[in-house]
Structure 1
Amino acid sequence: MERRHFLVLAGIGGVALIAGGGYFASMEPAGAGYEHRPLTAADLTEGDALVVDIRRPEEWAETGVVEGSMLFTFTTADRFLAQVSGELSDGRDLVLICRTGNRTQAAADALAGQIPNRIVSVEGGITRIISDGYQTVKPR
């Protein structure tokens, strides 16, 4: 079995991981870009993050929504930020949820770098949250 050596370099520009054999991967510095990861219903409802369901109203009615989430269909980054910027002024995280996670990735990509807040796109979306047993509420 081949042995690999790893060297982690840290600096102002971020973190780089260099592995023997010519492999190279870099990570964005904290605060840049966004995260796309599975969150539990508890992650969505128990923290102080701003959770925004970016689906369309007919989708909210069809499946229900995560209790306490803001409902705002994402069309453009500028329109979205005009709607939610007041809720984010305290620096809290922005968590985006849609049906499967595809739209939230696109929205997070459009928002990345425009706000200082951490942005999280919920992998698997409301479909996964419901399949994990979460009981949604009716949209208001």
Structure 2
Amino acid sequence: MSNFTKRQVLGLSALALVGVAGIGYAMTGTGEAGFDHRFMTVDEMRATGGLIVDIRTAPEWSQTGVIEGAELVTFTDPASFLAKVGPQLADGRDLILVCRSGNRTSAAARALQGMIPNRIVSVDGGMSKVIASGYRTVSPS
């Protein structure tokens, strides 16, 4: 059936396992994968000195309010997004992305990783969790 030795099969199995672990690692968006996907309070976001960007749509901003001082830039594609916020990231600070639940920011972070040298943080739970943690939003300007 196969000409593989037991040692070769074990070696291939180990490589496959490392590959699957690496894919899972990259998908979680932690560490060296280019972005972190975790919850942060607004105070924690501010303490990093990072650029906080709310990537939701204008109707969503009006519905729930926004984080005071956050940039409001709907994410449609990496190029147009970076054209708007890229100059503010030139100093190397973190890019902190917020959406409603954290799903869009995770996808946006994946799309942006490797395009900028900055660390990217996708806020897990998004504005829903930020608001649930007690933060009082402000009206979008």
TM over 0.5: yes
Which residue of structure 2 lines up, in the alignment, with residue 124 of structure 1? Answer: 125
Which residue of structure 2 lines up, in the alignment, with residue 6 of structure 1? Answer: none
- 2:54 partner amino acid: D
Match status 1:138 vs 2:124: no
Provide Cα deviations, 1:1-32, integer angstroms capped at 9, x if missing partner. Answer: xxxxxxxxxxxxxxxxxxxxxx6445679654
Q: Which stretches in structure 1 are left out of the alignment for 5+ residues?
A: 1-22
Aligned pairs for 1:58-137 (under 5 A) are: 58-137=59-138
SS in 2 for 1:127: helix
SS in 2 for 1:46: helix
Asked if 2 retains the 8 angstrom alpha-carbon contact of 1:45 and 1:68, the reply is: no
% identical equivalent positions: 52
In 1, the alpha carbon distance for the partners of 2:78 and 2:47 equals: 26
Match status 1:45 vs 2:46: yes
Asked if 2 retains the 8 angstrom alpha-carbon contact of 1:53 and 1:98, the reply is: yes
Which residue of structure 1 lines up, in the alignment, with residue 3 of structure 2? Answer: none
Q: Return the index of the structure with the highest Cα Rg.
A: 2
- Hey, which of these two has a bigger chunk of helix by percent? 2
In 1, the alpha carbon distance for the partners of 2:138 and 2:46 equals: 12
Provide Cα deviations, 1:85-121, integer angstroms capped at 9, x if missing partner. Answer: 1000000000000000000001000000000000000
- Hey, which of these two has a bigger chunk of strand by percent? 1
In 2, the alpha carbon distance for the partners of 1:78 and 1:34 equals: 18
In 2, the alpha carbon distance for the partners of 1:132 and 1:30 equals: 25
Q: Which stretches in structure 2 are left out of the alignment for 5+ residues?
A: 1-16
Counting matched residue pairs gives 119
1:40 Cα offset (Å):
1.0
With the length of structure 2 as denominator, give the TM-score of the two structures: 0.78
Asked if 2 retains the 8 angstrom alpha-carbon contact of 1:108 and 1:121, the reply is: yes
